[in-house]
Amino acid sequence: MAPGDGLTAGTHGSVRAPSASPSELPVRGRVTARGTIERITIAPAAATPSFSALARLDRNAGHEGVHLVWMGQRRVPGVEAGVELRFEGMVSRVGGTPTVYNPRYEIIGRPDEQ
């Protein structure tokens, strides 16, 4: 990371940024990013409970989807399509897609507030 690029490195390869761009996401490690929920997926009743959302990160004319997965949850309050949120957690690549399991999150904006 270059000085002044808006990112600060923590321990063990972590990246913290108000809005990490696709190229700034680590292959594996802690990340703090900001994105807009494009879609949600709820596991069928017969499956193990999980709730996932695809967050779109936009920055510098680039974008990438990050899967956010809450294990053991059928619903996560406030997380719906169009919501902008800041999230934090350990990112890893699953099938080539950055994925964060059980992220901490903060809702920044809702579609009806814009």
Q: What is the dihedral of CA 16, 31, 93, 68, to 10 degrees?
A: -140
- Amino acid identity of residue 1, one-letter, is M
Which three-class secondary structure state does DSSP give residue 111? helix
Predicted local confidence at residue 61, as pLDDT: 63
54-95 per-position pLDDT tens digit = 999 876 667 788 999 999 988 999 999 999 999 999 999 888
Question: Strand, coil or helix: what is 80?
Answer: coil
Tens of pLDDT, residues 40-53 = 998 888 999 999 99
Instruction: Count how many residues are written for the chain.
Output: 114
What distance in Å separates the CA atoms of residue 42 and residue 64, rounded to the nearest whole number?
21
What pLDDT was estimated at residue 59? 67
- What is the structure's pLDDT at 27? 72
DSSP conformation class of 13: G
